[in-house]
Amino acid sequence: MKTIKPIARQVLATTATIVAAIGASVITATPAFAQSYPSKPITWIVPFAAGGPTDALARNIAERVSREVGQSIIIDNSPGAGGTVGATKAARAAADGYTMLVGHMGYMGAAPALYKKLSYDPVKDFAPVFRFPDTPMVLMVRKEHPAKTVGELVDYGRKNPGKLFISNAGMGSTSHLVAALFAASAGMKVSLVPYKGAGPALIDVIGGQVDGMFDQTNTALPQITEAKVRPLAVTSATRVAQLKDVPTLAETVLPGFEAATWYGIYAPKGTPQPVIDKMQQAYLKVMTDKAFTTKLAAQAIQMLPPEQYTAAALGKHTEAEVARWKVVATKANITLD
Ligand code: MLT
């Protein structure tokens, strides 16, 4: 082996020391940064009024994740335009890890196909952090409505065009999209009534001001249990254990129909990777807590395989959904502006 002259050996040794020091400083910089984050409360923007399914699920998960990261997570309800107002606010927030978006299928999947002038891009303007479990939806009507089955409701809707008033959380929300797809597929002309969230929309079904709506199971189930509304069908491929006598749309009026709302936490593009890693790690740990996931499953929330909860998986899912909704919206002729 060629011997190295002493001076060269000296230079090499010094270089090695410098590299080690840089390496160490880079390594200490990342853990130090990651260790210091979060050093103050984090805000999660929920782009719907409080009391709806997105708000309820976000608060459930935020409470557990905040315990893991050691800082409170504050829910900022910023409703409007089917969730796109809040999504725009999040896209424009500082990319410092202290503002994130609670995204979902509507404004982070379908919106680019529905809004010609959308002020953000779900893929380019955000960094995915982690995905929540999905929630199927229940079609419910006000107690006094004559329809006792989904078949009778479709019959009523066909015979009374425009006279079936279906509330939703704003144009482009999942309660709007699923209702629009349901009406189009069942050959009905219904009147879609937008609210600032599914929470207020459901209150008016209970009060009888509107005829019905599609709402996620986590907020629908308590109202159904208390017989404040009548469930007619679920949107999942198979029946929901908590509503075993309620048929799916697929087995009744719309063979092959299936819909569930997906959600995810997104940070503004440019948010440091150690922030995303730390939040993702905290969440993945929460989702291994059996007591917690059992509580969610009791709301008919659909757990996913763990690998689908990651930032990478949410990023791929978002891209696929943006592409899928371009096809669905064209086929169902749904546009909003
Ligand atoms: C929707 O219908 O898109 C949302 O789930 C509404 C909400 O969560 O309030």
According to the model, what pLDDT value does residue 23 have? Answer: 41
Q: At 165, phi and psi to the nearest 5?
A: -95, 115
Dump the DSSP string for 25-47. HHHHHHHHHHHH--SS-EEEEE-
With a cut of 80, say whether residue 20 has pLDDT above it: no
Average pLDDT over residues 310-321: 98
The whole-chain average pLDDT of the chain stands at 90
Diameter over CA atoms, the chain: 97
pLDDT greater than 50 at residue 13 = no
Give the pair of three-digit tokens for residue 197: 């969230």
Ligand 1 atom showing the smallest separation from residue 83 Cα: 3
CATH of 135-260, one of 3.40.50.300, 3.30.1310.10, 1.10.260.30, 3.40.190.10: 3.40.190.10
**pLDDT, tens digit, for every residue of 166-192?**
999 998 999 999 999 999 889 999 999
Question: What mean pLDDT comes out for the span 246-257?
Answer: 94
Identical fold between 41-134+262-332 and 135-260: yes
pLDDT at 262 over 60: yes
Which residue has tokens 């150690």? 274
C-alpha 214/C-alpha 91 separation (Å) is: 28
Output DSSP code: residue 296.
Answer: H
pLDDT of residue 9: 44
Residue 193 makes CB contacts below 8 A (sequence gap 6+) with: 165, 166, 167, 168, 201, 204, 210
Answer for the pair 219, 59: CB distance below 8 angstroms, yes or no. Answer: no
**What topology is assigned to 41-134+262-332 in CATH?**
D-Maltodextrin-Binding Protein; domain 2 (3.40.190)
**Ligand 1 geometric centre to CA of 255 (Å):** 25
Distance CA 134, CA 131 (A): 9
CA distance 176 to 87: 17
**Whether the predicted pLDDT of 224 surpasses 50:** yes
**37-91 residue pLDDT tens:** 999 999 999 999 999 999 999 999 999 999 999 999 999 999 999 999 999 999 9
Residue 24: predicted pLDDT? 42
Quick one: which atom of ligand 1 is closest to the CA of 82?
3
Instruction: Point out the ligand 1 atom lying closest to the alpha carbon of residue 174.
Output: 3
Residue nearest to atom 6 of ligand 1 (CA): 198
Residue 79's contacts (CB-CB under 8 Å, 6 or more residues apart) are: 47, 48, 49, 85, 86, 170, 196, 197
In which band, very low, low, confident or very high, does the pLDDT at 116 lie, cut at 50, 70 and 90?
confident
Q: Is the predicted pLDDT of residue 332 greater than 80, yes or no?
A: no
226 or 181, which is more confident?
Answer: 226
Tokens of 21: 């020091």
Q: Are 101 and 44 in contact (CB under 8 A)?
A: yes
How many A from CA of 195 to the centre of ligand 1? 10
Task: Express as a percent the part of the chain with pLDDT over 70.
Answer: 89
| Residue 302 CB neighbours (<10 A) | 16
Q: How far is ligand 1, taken at its centre, from the CA of residue 48, in Å?
A: 7
Ligand 1 binding pocket includes 175 (Cβ within 6 Å): yes
User: Do 297 and 114 contact (CB within 8 A), yes or no?
Assistant: no
As a whole number of angstroms, the distance between CA 331 and CA 256 comes to 16
pLDDT at 120 over 90: yes
User: Is the pLDDT confidence value at 3 over 60?
Assistant: no
Q: What is the pLDDT of residues 78-89, one digit of tens each?
A: 999 999 999 999
The domain segmentation of the chain, as residue ranges, is: 41-134+262-332, 135-260
Q: Tell me what percent of the residues of the chain surpass a pLDDT of 90.
A: 83
Q: Say what the pLDDT of residue 26 is.
A: 37
